[in-house]
């Protein structure tokens, strides 16, 4: 195989793939083209059938006419013989033979053409039924295609919601809660290290020291009074 032949085959392959993709993406157009092609062939077949039927009708009409002539000739022959018209009788007898031969041939031909006409009509009816079947198939397949596409779209939407969207939403909520917890932990951790807390602790210690000092002073005063009272009692004795 030559180089250009190989290139030609590759190019044909690309064209075939492209056509296949176009057909798959446009099934309605493919069905319409197939239906239109069958309708065209149906018209051609109908024209051919009409020709056969016309020929059958023509032969039938000629046969009917020949049979009528034969009946007329057969009725004339006895009269010619009775009247002694031998020449006329001979002519009528010849014509009778010709008509009988013609009728026999026409009957044979009519039988064949009638069978052909019936077969052609049956084929035409079947072909017409095939077109109707193809039209119904088109509607059914397009409905299947639309249903399948809808189901795929719904499934993809549900898949997206059940994985990406839901997981992302959960991650956002978890992250938010973790951040709130971290803020609470930080607040607790730095609470004791704040300046206000330190001042509060110092104030508490100062207040406790002052109260302790007052308590000690009271204890001293009470102890001094007790000593003075004890000393006075001894003097009076």
Residue 59 is predicted with a pLDDT of 92
CA dihedral 219, 220, 221, 224 (to 10 degrees): 120
Nearest alpha-carbon partner for 109 in 172, 36, 59, 180: 59
Residue 11 is predicted with a pLDDT of 38
Average pLDDT, the chain: 77
Residue 162 is predicted with a pLDDT of 53
Task: Look up residue 165 and give its DSSP letter.
Answer: I
Instruction: Give pTM, 2 decimals.
Output: 0.47
Higher pLDDT, 64 or 18: 64
pLDDT band at 64 (very low <50, low <70, confident <90, very high): very high
CA distance 36 to 90: 62
Residue 69 is predicted with a pLDDT of 92
pLDDT band at 58 (very low <50, low <70, confident <90, very high): very high
* pLDDT tens track for 144-153: 878 887 888 8
Residue 229 is predicted with a pLDDT of 75
| CATH tag for 3-170 (out of 2.40.50, 1.10.10, 1.10.287, 1.10.357) | 1.10.287
Residue 236 is predicted with a pLDDT of 60
* pLDDT tens track for 69-104: 999 999 998 998 888 888 988 998 999 999 999 999
Q: Which two tokens stand for residue 186?
A: 């930080």
Residue 22 is predicted with a pLDDT of 47
Domain boundaries, the chain: 3-170, 192-236
* pLDDT tens track for 190-200: 555 555 666 66
Position 180 pLDDT exceeds 50? yes
* Angle in degrees, 0-180, between the axes of helices 3-25 and 27-82, rounded to the nearest 10: 90
């Amino acid at each position: 195989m030559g180089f250009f032949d190989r290139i030609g085959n590759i190019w044909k392959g690309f064209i075939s793939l492209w056509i296949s993709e176009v057909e798959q993406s446009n099934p309605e157009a493919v069905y319409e083209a197939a239906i239109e092609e069958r309708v065209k062939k149906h018209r051609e077949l109908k024209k051919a059938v009409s020709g056969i039927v016309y020929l059958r009708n023509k032969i039938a009409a000629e046969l009917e006419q020949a049979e009528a002539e034969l009946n007329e000739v057969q009725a004339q022959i006895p009269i010619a013989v009775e009247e002694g018209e031998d020449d006329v009788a001979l002519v009528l007898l010849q014509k009778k033979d010709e008509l009988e031969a013609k009728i026999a041939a026409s009957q044979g031909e009519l039988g064949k053409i009638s069978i052909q006409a019936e077969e052609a009509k049956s084929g035409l009816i079947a072909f017409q039924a095939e077109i109707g079947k193809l039209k119904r198939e088109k509607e059914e397949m397009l409905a299947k295609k639309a249903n399948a596409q809808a189901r795929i779209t719904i499934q993809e939407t549900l898949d997206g919601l059940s994985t990406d969207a839901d997981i992302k939403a959960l991650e956002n909520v978890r992250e938010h809660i973790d951040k709130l917890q971290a803020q609470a932990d930080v607040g607790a951790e730095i609470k004791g290290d704040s300046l206000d807390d330190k001042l509060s602790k110092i104030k508490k210690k100062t207040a406790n020291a002052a109260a302790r000092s007052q308590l000690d002073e009271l204890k001293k005063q009470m102890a001094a009074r007790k000593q003075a009272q004890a000393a006075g009692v001894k003097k009076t004795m």
